[in-house]
Amino acid sequence: MADRLQTSMNSVKQKKFPLFLLVDDCAFPRINGDTGELIPFSAYETLLRLAEAFDICIPLCFTMRYLDLEGRWSGSTPIPYAKQLVELVKNNPQHLLFCDHGLTHKLGNTNYEFFNPDTGEHLNEQEHRKLLKIIIQIWDDLDLDFPEIMVPPSNSWVPNLTDRIYAEAGCRYIVSISHSKNQLLSRDLFSPGGIKKVFTPKFKWPDHSPHLTLLPRRSWLLSCNRINPSGWLLQQMMRSLAQPCSGPFAALYNRTSLPLPVHSYMTHIGNFVGDHAFDFWYKLFHWADAHPSISLARSFDDARLLYDDLAPKKEVLFDHDHLD
């Protein structure tokens, strides 16, 4: 085991890890759903400035109830600057990219939409198709093709159902986490069986889909409501980028002792709100662009190729759970 781990880590160290962001919750009116601070149009201008500064294309993942100008769904509440936002992305295709992030971002009283890994509750096929029909109508109303990239709300989807139905609509990629994690509590680490509990996922999604391409992402140290990130956080994010697959922190955070390169990192539109947001992200990207072990991916496909070159042959680390 030790020899296999060292060989895998040495192989990864010889190549560069991609740095690529996908921005969740785009078009949300407020940070953290409907209750937090208002998200201004300037947050998207910050993203465009960042993309222009480094000549990159940043995918924006839209929850469509907030762009539903024709009222295709009874619960839609479009944001006041929906038309302006759509035009901003349309007019800057070299720097901003439309991606799908569901319709409601709600499943009961949770922020899931397709599947709740905590309870097993999920949409059936009829409910999936009804929801996706509305999503397609909204994209069509905006005179936009259905996106090839989907990020499931709260990174949760139903294997062989969500991927199959989205693929039928023209989606080619799902970008999401590989498994949902049990909450990391210090008492668990030092209790009988605690280590096993911490490293056992609540739910493990498959590594492959017969319907489209699955690409893994990683959560960062940024909560969805973290605006104007601090200098301390910048240092922590730099450290996690420079050593993404080694050390005890990575083992605990990712719940695995094996190197796990990813295609991209998770952020939320709220992370680009505030007077200092641009400076924070500029410093991070500028540092990463010069780092010998990091490659600042210029596009979704660039990150995909970098990830494909890095990713070790997949093996089953946990038993797959199955839905009833």
pLDDT at residue 188 in the model: 58
Q: Is the dihedral of CA 108, 112, 118, 123 positive or negative?
A: positive
pLDDT at residue 227 in the model: 74
User: 93, 300, 312: which is closest to 213 by C-alpha?
Assistant: 300
pLDDT at residue 239 in the model: 78
pLDDT at residue 270 in the model: 93
* C-alpha span between 18 and 294 (Å, rounded): 6
* C-alpha span between 286 and 290 (Å, rounded): 7
pLDDT at residue 324 in the model: 43
Domains of the chain with CATH codes: 2-310 (3.20.20.370)
pLDDT at residue 252 in the model: 56
pLDDT at residue 226 in the model: 77
Contact between 19 and 249 (Cβ < 8 Å)? no
Q: Kindly state the tokens that stand for 307.
A: 């990830």
Contact between 268 and 37 (Cβ < 8 Å)? no
Other beta carbons less than 10 A from residue 215's beta carbon: 22
User: 48, 117, 124, 123: which is closest to 87 by C-alpha?
Assistant: 48
End-to-end CA distance of the chain: 35
Name the DSSP letter for residue 323. -
Contact between 169 and 146 (Cβ < 8 Å)? yes
On the 0-12 / 13-18 / 19+ scale of CB atoms within 10 A, 84 is exposed
Beta strands in the chain (DSSP E): 17-19, 21-26, 58-62, 96-100, 149-150, 173-176, 179-180, 203-204, 213-218, 264-268, 294-296
pLDDT at residue 250 in the model: 54
Q: To 5 degrees, how large is the angle CA 192–CA 198–CA 200? A: 110
Task: From first to last of the 324 residues of the chain, give the pLDDT tens digit.
Answer: 344 444 444 444 456 889 999 999 999 999 876 778 899 999 999 999 999 999 999 999 999 999 999 999 999 999 999 999 999 999 999 999 999 999 999 999 999 999 999 899 999 999 999 999 999 999 999 999 999 999 999 999 999 999 999 999 999 999 998 877 666 555 555 667 666 666 667 788 998 999 999 999 988 767 777 777 777 888 878 877 776 555 555 555 555 555 578 899 999 999 999 889 999 999 999 999 999 989 999 999 999 999 999 886 544 333 334 444
